[in-house]
Amino acid sequence: MSQSLFQDRKEAGAELAKALKAHAGSETLVIGLPRGGVVVAAEIARELDAPLDIIVARKIGAPGHPEYGIGAVAPSGVRYVDAEAVRALKISEGQLEEITEQARKEADRRMQAYAGGRSMPEVEGREVIIADDGLATGSTARAAVEAAKKAGARRIVLAVPVGAAESVEAFESLVDEVVCLSRPRPFQAVGLWYTNFDQTSDEEVEELLRRYGTARFT
């Protein structure tokens, strides 16, 4: 196994915040992707003295192999699909619609749990930093970016501690700025680059939103 880069998500967020100092202040909105990305984003929000919010982008898993993402859904009806993966796996339109609906239901459940069903943060006209704990295929991050664009974000920064080089490079033409601390090759999986990559709980996400979140969680 490769040597880890970060002790845990909290350390990764603190390191990432150092590279984002130019964005400090309450005019910037830091958005975490639940669940693990919220831990990273909370550290960025704390260090930059900026508010924290979330976009629930949910991976669309391949039929029979839900851990393999072929796309993602996000608020405002956003759906990103890797057309090449769909063709390679011979997924029918009916199957795609079914697994998309499953992903949307889980995304709705999480938004209800975290923000009382509120669909999107208020991003119109604002600079937003979209943060996750790592970038593998990038499907959930891409859906979140599209949702933020659709909602009128003025400027979008994608911030991740570690990512697959090809995925990170793909975002350079999709957002205004990409901040990624490390692009190891081979990449394999996000969790390999953390000493502690335990699953983040709903309760932890809720606590971080109470502590650092915007005043709209009411």
pTM: 0.92
- Confidence label for 54 from pLDDT (cuts 50, 70 and 90): very high
For the stretch 59-77, pLDDT in tens is: 999 988 887 889 999 988 8
Domain of 126: which CATH number?
A: 3.40.50.2020
Interatomic CA distance for residues 97 and 140, integer angstroms: 17
Q: Is residue 52 part of a domain?
A: yes
Give Dmax (Cα) for the chain: 47
- Confidence label for 4 from pLDDT (cuts 50, 70 and 90): confident
* Beta strand residue intervals within 77-145, DSSP E: 78-81, 127-131
Q: Which of 113, 140, 156 is the last residue of a domain?
A: 113
Residue 96 structural domain: 59-113
User: 83 and 138: one domain?
Assistant: no
Q: Is residue 84 part of a domain?
A: yes
